Structure 1
């Protein structure tokens, strides 16, 4: 089986948010974007893989689907895998590992499938298998069809490379960006997070407004693969897309330590000149002077993980009262796993979309139109 010049590229995301990711992918100019369970697929080659890792905010991992074939037993799986031109993809001097999953197939033992594929790759081009290798080959055997992909990202893509300090129960950057996009945020309005924690929403909003690529400060697994062209990659990364935002981005928190974390994270991300953080409780916040109404968004404690629900209801009520009293014209969005807490705000929420998984919970985005 020959090595393909163009293949399916799978961009994984939080189940339930595939349409939001697909919209981002299309807006970034990728062709043939298609929603599939758990993510979005596009067609392309290695330059598209590099660009997707560098540009796309809402995806957690990007896989290059390089090979697909029928496999009904382990010997057939190994034989077909060995005929692929692995030497054009994997370096012979670097170890790799294989991760397999099986569903509704005659091959049902994922561990045995991984071993057979690893053996086939080593026999084909000599690279050694190792459980701790950074290069990862992923095999999905479903309905007797084996699809083999290369993990091109390495570490999950919410690890932008600029955040060192995080608070308890943080929201991942990829998920935060998807919620911002779901609220209609494009970077043209101020954003205020009154329970900012380590600053995730504010930093993501500022980066979107400044057109800073989310992958600009990190490395990727594809840099170790044979098709990698360092010169072309450096030219791609060097393209200047940044702009000065037309507004600023604001975070507050009653925890002084959270403000210190947020300021440090914003500085590392390079957005400290247009972000501002203040230590204050929800009951004392007010709209930033001189800013047009924009979006208030926060990820308050849920009760199932942090704090007591009875005490938290008072926090949610205080938040809702502050929004209604002082934030006329602003849209408001909160993320929570508890509908009772959301409704304790007494805010006029729009119909809620289906909850999505996060840290073992199911969370929902509650949002309003501009408040009267």
Structure 2
């Protein structure tokens, strides 16, 4: 079947690269990436793919020119092949370029079919979501196999101000060429997202290993096969590489350490309370400095941030020869205030109501 990996807008390309690296043949579409496979691939995508925000399994489609036709064909759809009658469901509908254009009317007819044919309970807080999209009069039925957004890895209980989502962090690391073979440092680490994500990649830890998924409530779910898949190792862990996070806020460092411990990374990552001006290059080979610094529209007054970015650039140029730098920001002027030799910035990416871009250098 067709499996749709939902992307953060602007990060479709690195998501396709990741899917390709896992052996799939991805096709980029607006809003995500399409692969093909069976239920095992749906499970694996949720478990292993770092950049998708959710995984949709497209379980069928039919033509619907008017509401009566939608009603009739929805009642004929083989819901019992996919959904259990004892698990509540909810329906989310959308329509584009179609004669049936009212999302509420679409939802009502699909809900009626689920009640009448499956005996399912419809509930707003249901663990399983049926997604219905009618485009050019073609009605496509998908199941959200993820449940909660996939950026919720299961280890982060504490977050700071304006946190970077794990799915985004993973894709920015990929765009920087990070593959788990070099040290990573974040001198404004917040709750530790970049550092923890990088350390997990190096350790061969699967991003979905600690959480529950909606597909565990589907008819197709096989608990024994799932445990085998979840328990399989995906890479030989690299133990010699260092991962470093620092922040001037002691509360942020405490959060980072707690999140790393829950992720099973105690002893593999180092977090310390440190002002940017006091940052020193770690011992060992050069690697990647990646930062999500404050930008005015995100946290507050922008004026003092120019001085902060100038200090950042000075410290990195003087003390991090041979290291590459990646900075995520919504403000090109702040990026340029670092004085770092950036390449052309990456595409715009939606983040918390803003459009951010990745600015990166070659080795300094």
TM-score normalised to the size of structure 2?
Answer: 0.98
Aligned to 2:341, which of 341, 348, 359? Answer: 348
Q: Who is 1:141 aligned against? A: 134
Q: Who is 1:275 aligned against? A: 269
Q: Who is 2:358 aligned against? A: 365
Alignment of 1:83-98 (within 5 A): 83-98=76-91
Q: CA deviation at 1:203?
A: 0.1
Secondary structure of 1:24's aligned partner: helix
Alignment of 1:233-252 (within 5 A): 233-241=226-234, 243-252=237-246
Consecutive unaligned residues of structure 2, counting only runs of 5 or more, are none
Consecutive unaligned residues of structure 1, counting only runs of 5 or more, are 1-6
Q: Who is 2:325 aligned against? A: 332
Alignment of 1:245-264 (within 5 A): 245-264=239-258
Q: Find the aligned partners of 1:183 and 1:151 in 2 and give their Cα distance.
A: 30
Alignment of 1:66-105 (within 5 A): 66-105=59-98
Q: Who is 2:303 aligned against? A: 310
Q: CA deviation at 1:245?
A: 3.1
Aligned to 1:25, which of 6, 19, 22? Answer: 19
Aligned to 1:120, which of 101, 106, 113? Answer: 113
Q: CA deviation at 1:54?
A: 0.4
- Residue by residue, what CA displacement relative to the aligned partner does 1:152-179 show, whole Å, maximum 9, x if unpaired? 0000000000111000110100000000
Q: Find the aligned partners of 1:274 and 1:170 in 2 and give their Cα distance.
A: 22
Q: Find the aligned partners of 1:307 and 1:368 in 2 and give their Cα distance.
A: 27
**Partners of 1:316 and 1:344 within 8 A in 2:** yes
Indicate yes or no: 2:151 matched with 1:158. yes
**Partners of 1:188 and 1:245 within 8 A in 2:** no
**Partners of 2:27 and 2:33 within 8 A in 1:** yes
**Partners of 2:88 and 2:120 within 8 A in 1:** yes
Aligned to 1:59, which of 37, 48, 52? Answer: 52
- Residue by residue, what CA displacement relative to the aligned partner does 1:62-112 show, whole Å, maximum 9, x if unpaired? 000011111121111121111111111110112111100111211111011
Alignment of 1:213-252 (within 5 A): 213-241=206-234, 243-252=237-246
Aligned to 1:108, which of 101, 122, 136? Answer: 101
**Partners of 2:204 and 2:233 within 8 A in 1:** no
- Residue by residue, what CA displacement relative to the aligned partner does 1:262-317 show, whole Å, maximum 9, x if unpaired? 0111111011211001111111101112x100000010011002132110111100
Runs of 4+ more than 2 Å apart: none
C-alpha RMSD over aligned residues = 1.0
**Partners of 2:309 and 2:338 within 8 A in 1:** yes
Q: Who is 2:38 aligned against? A: 45
Q: CA deviation at 1:119?
A: 0.6
Indicate yes or no: 2:167 matched with 1:170. no
- Residue by residue, what CA displacement relative to the aligned partner does 1:171-215 show, whole Å, maximum 9, x if unpaired? 100000000000000000000000000000000000000010000
Q: Find the aligned partners of 2:234 and 2:22 in 1 and give their Cα distance.
A: 12
Q: Find the aligned partners of 1:105 and 1:84 in 2 and give their Cα distance.
A: 20
Secondary structure of 1:206's aligned partner: helix
**Partners of 2:181 and 2:238 within 8 A in 1:** no
Q: CA deviation at 1:246?
A: 3.0
The aligned length equals 363
Q: Who is 2:205 aligned against? A: 212
Q: Find the aligned partners of 1:33 and 1:134 in 2 and give their Cα distance.
A: 28
**Partners of 2:62 and 2:138 within 8 A in 1:** yes
Q: Find the aligned partners of 1:282 and 1:74 in 2 and give their Cα distance.
A: 61
TM-score normalised to the size of structure 1?
Answer: 0.96
Q: Find the aligned partners of 1:245 and 1:150 in 2 and give their Cα distance.
A: 39
